[in-house]
C-alpha cells in the first residue's frame, strides 16, 4: 500500500512540475501562482504545498529537472557519432523544438527575471548556461582539431556567442511563431562563429 502512495505522490509531483514548466516557459516564473497550478491539476493549494512548500522549492526542482533533461539530450548528441558541425546543428535543433511547442528555453525565461529569483535558482541558472557553454566549447575544439571549423579567438568565446545568439534568436522568433526564422538565424550564427559554412 505504501508503494502505491509513493507512486501516486511521484506522479502528482511530476504533473505539478510539467504544468509549472509550461507556465514558466510561456509566462515566466513571476507570471504564475500556485493557484494557477492547483486549478489545472484540480487539487488544493495545500496539496501543492505538500509537494513543494514554497515557490522557491518548486523553482529549484524545475531548473534541476530541466537541466538534467537537457544534459541527457547533449549526451544523446554525443553518443550519435556526429561530426562537430552536425553536433552544433543538433544542438540548435533542441531550441527549435522548444519553439515548435510554443515555449521558450526555461532557463532563458528565468534569466530575464534573474534579479527577482531566489539565490538557489540564480545559481542553478548559471550552472545550466555554464554547462552548455562548456559542451559547446568542447565541440568547437573538436571541430578545430579535425579542421572542420576555422575560427578566430578561443573556443570558449565562440561557444558563448553561439549560446547567447541562440537564446536571442529564440526570443526574437517567439512573437512571430516562426520556427523557420529561428532556424535561419541559428544556421547563419553557427556558420559565422565556426567558419563552417
Rg (CA), the chain: 19
Q: Domains (ranges, CATH) in the chain?
A: 54-194 (1.10.357.10)
- Cα gap 87→99, rounded to integer Å: 19
Per-residue pLDDT, 196: 65
- Cα gap 192→176, rounded to integer Å: 24
Q: How many CB atoms lie within 10 A of CB 34?
A: 19
- Cα gap 165→161, rounded to integer Å: 6
Per-residue pLDDT, 195: 87
- Mean model confidence pLDDT for the chain: 93
Query: What stretches of 31-178 show up as alpha helix (H) in DSSP?
Result: 34-41, 45-51, 55-79, 84-100, 106-112, 119-145, 155-173
Q: How many CB atoms lie within 10 A of CB 106?
A: 24
Per-residue pLDDT, 8: 66
- Cα gap 176→139, rounded to integer Å: 31
Instruction: Pick the closest to residue 75 from 62, 65, 90 (CA basis).
Output: 90
Instruction: Pick the closest to residue 167 from 87, 82, 101, 110 (CA basis).
Output: 110
pLDDT by residue for the chain (197 residues), tens digit each?
444 546 667 788 999 999 999 999 999 999 999 999 999 999 889 989 999 999 999 999 999 999 999 999 999 999 998 999 999 999 999 999 999 999 999 999 999 999 999 999 999 999 999 999 999 999 999 999 999 999 999 999 999 999 999 999 999 999 999 999 999 999 999 999 998 65
Per-residue pLDDT, 142: 96
Sequence-separated (6 or more) residues with CB below 8 Å from residue 94 = 70, 73
Q: pTM for the full model?
A: 0.91
Amino acid at each position: 500500500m505504501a508503494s502505491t502512495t509513493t507512486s501516486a505522490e511521484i506522479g502528482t509531483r511530476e504533473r505539478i512540475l510539467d504544468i509549472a514548466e509550461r507556465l514558466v516557459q510561456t509566462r515566466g516564473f513571476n507570471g504564475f501562482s500556485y493557484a494557477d497550478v492547483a486549478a489545472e491539476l484540480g487539487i488544493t493549494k495545500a496539496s501543492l504545498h505538500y509537494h513543494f512548500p514554497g515557490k522557491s522549492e518548486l523553482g529549484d526542482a524545475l531548473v534541476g529537472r530541466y537541466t538534467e533533461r537537457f544534459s541527457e539530450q547533449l549526451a544523446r548528441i554525443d553518443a550519435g557519432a556526429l561530426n562537430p558541425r552536425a553536433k552544433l546543428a543538433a544542438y540548435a535543433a533542441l531550441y527549435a523544438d522548444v519553439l515548435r511547442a510554443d515555449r521558450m528555453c526555461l532557463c532563458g525565461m528565468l534569466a530575464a527575471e534573474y534579479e527577482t529569483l531566489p539565490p538557489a535558482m540564480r545559481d542553478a541558472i548559471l550552472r545550466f548556461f555554464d554547462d552548455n557553454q562548456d559542451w559547446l566549447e568542447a565541440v568547437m575544439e573538436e571541430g578545430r582539431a579535425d579542421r572542420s571549423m576555422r575560427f578566430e579567438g578561443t573556443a570558449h568565446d565562440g561557444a558563448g556567442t553561439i549560446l547567447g545568439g541562440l537564446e536571442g534568436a529564440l526570443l526574437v522568433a517567439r512573437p512571430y511563431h516562426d520556427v523557420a526564422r529561428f532556424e535561419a538565424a541559428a544556421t547563419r550564427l553557427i556558420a559565422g562563429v565556426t567558419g563552417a559554412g
